[in-house]
Chains A and B, each alone.
Chain A
């Protein structure tokens, strides 16, 4: 009843068999030690670590008032130390400083 089709399929089978890749025991070797599965976990851990580091960074200063004082010395008269110069012979006359 199927005598016409069966030989055709047999022929197809015979023609396809040579194209089958050769059998090798490595086909049944289990994948390596979780290498492939570790990669996404490591990437996720790295992202978490970066996030935590960013979170722990000191917060930005929001206003000028929050800045630390730049000059922390006691207020005193300008050029007070020049009241009694020991000598001014090196200064040209037009550059002589006249203190108020």
Chain B
């Protein structure tokens, strides 16, 4: 068979290829319509909406307590953050006070959830790059955290644990020692990842200087979370606009200077280490102490004093018991902002005084991350797509809601 002689104009032709919607490394169902010139990406058009479940429409026909379990499904990897965002918004409309003990339990579970989510990200990111081993390491710890959640809530993924004004259950007996043990062992585990990943020449070659997100672009596209902190913008809501009891806890925000994929990896690893410290502090500071002691002491105390250490308001789990059938917050609106693993989740709730919300609007961080993707991969090789897209930590159910 004669070999066809290609002339130059034929070789420079642009080609349109279609990545997804079902693709192993798009972390869900995302479709990218790409225009390639040889190996170089000229233009990208993301097509989203394959996972749209109408979360905002569903809120119209359900009352607040019926909508609460659905909220967990906005982002399945960080369910606690989504339900926290909704709870804080409704609490500020209804002016419900949350007891300190409940806030601490929320904080501990949220930080554990952040570690679990980041571990999942490490696993999938390295898998995108072709490294299979870190996945098994990461899932080992994730399993421990998920087991803790299973003890606490009875679920491994969609926890449905928070309620308006507090949390549904106290920590089970022995949970705090298990959590402390895990906190002690976890930094060593992170050292293990860093030993395989951080200085790995192949990993550094593929991620250093790739997908640089400049400060202007990050702010312009409203990128939040670890992605913006990798571009040296100090924007961490836990520090700047503290929401739960983060103002009582001493922790640092970690920044990186270059804004490339490698820095986004480093920020996330540092954040996991910081989360461990936060949890250790919170377990020490939690009002009432361990659940076993608290139970005995609150029974024996019985003083009915508001500021008692063992039976007062701050040692309770729910500030005010609500009747799910007749719960009607007053007319008003509230915006809650939560620093989730992927960025800022805002939940805008508008109430008109009936038992159903008029409007619930979710602002999810991955939505912005997908939007900035075409800018980041313009003019790069096709092989750079996954190091860049994977490093943004996109979860598709969160994009489509």
The finding on whether chains A and B are genuine partners in a shared complex, rather than unrelated, reads no
Contact surface of A with B, Cβ cutoff 8 Å: none
